[in-house]
Structure 1
Amino acid sequence: MAAALTAAGINVVATEALNIPESSPENPVPLEVALTAKVYNDIFNKYKDANLYIIMSQLPFVGTELQKLSCWKMDPKKSRIILVNGEVFNLKGAIATGHIGAAAAMKTGPEAYDPEKTAPKETQAAFDTRYILVTPQNVKEVAEKNKDIFAK
């Protein structure tokens, strides 16, 4: 992905893997528990001057952890998050304020992608079959059309 971004003229400063505490096969830690604010804040704080963070996992799902993220203190006109294939259920407000500039959310309900069916060959059609692109500009419309995508 970094090579594709660089080819598109985007200066990629770094790529980081999430530093999730290890667990044992006998006692695995669920991802929603392992993904704490600290995991993300370590990266946000390491790259304070970044203007774009592309996150290819979900942010913490637990509300108290989500609220502790340091990115909410950043100026959304200077730094934004792009969330690729992450859970957006608790993120309507963060998208509306522009802290999250875009999120590719899996379709849910009757519109959900059926993996048993072949996806369209054309890239945009394949994306549109699986995902909803949510932005600050369309978050209200997405919420109205997809009643189960965001928390009430």
Structure 2
Amino acid sequence: MKYMLIMRDSQEAFEASQEVDFEEIINAMGAYNEALMKAGVLASAEGLAPATEGFVVDFAGEKPIVTDGPYGETHELFNGFWILEVSSKEEAVEWASRAPLGPGSKLEVRRIPSQEEAFADFADNEYVKKAAELPDRH
């Protein structure tokens, strides 16, 4: 089973991180990632550039509207993610609980369904068949 751990930080978490030596943060994250790799459960992990470098594409109107970040009222920012391949939801909970995050941070954990599970009713669709051929899709 695959699970995505989505790191969400509030302004409180951002401010708290400014008071910690950045090398300490790198070491804590590095040790966590190393534990995931040694356990053989880490499929992917990435951090993201600041929201000021991002943008939003809003499809509410007739034409999509692109807005540069930061955008709107932001209470939590999506700052990075891990994708784990584990044997159960309980194992995903265990690994998520060990993330070196503090107050103001949250991990949203979402299961990633298999191609067959997600599109079972559309297995004969040409685009579903093409998607099954993409690399790294189980």
Q: Report the TM-score range of the alignment, normalised by the length of the smaller protein.
A: under 0.3
Q: Normalising to structure 1: TM-score of the pair?
A: 0.23
Of structures 1 and 2, the one scoring higher in RCO (CA 8 A, sep 6+) is 2
Structure showing greater Rg: 2
Higher strand share: 2
Q: Normalising to structure 2: TM-score of the pair?
A: 0.24
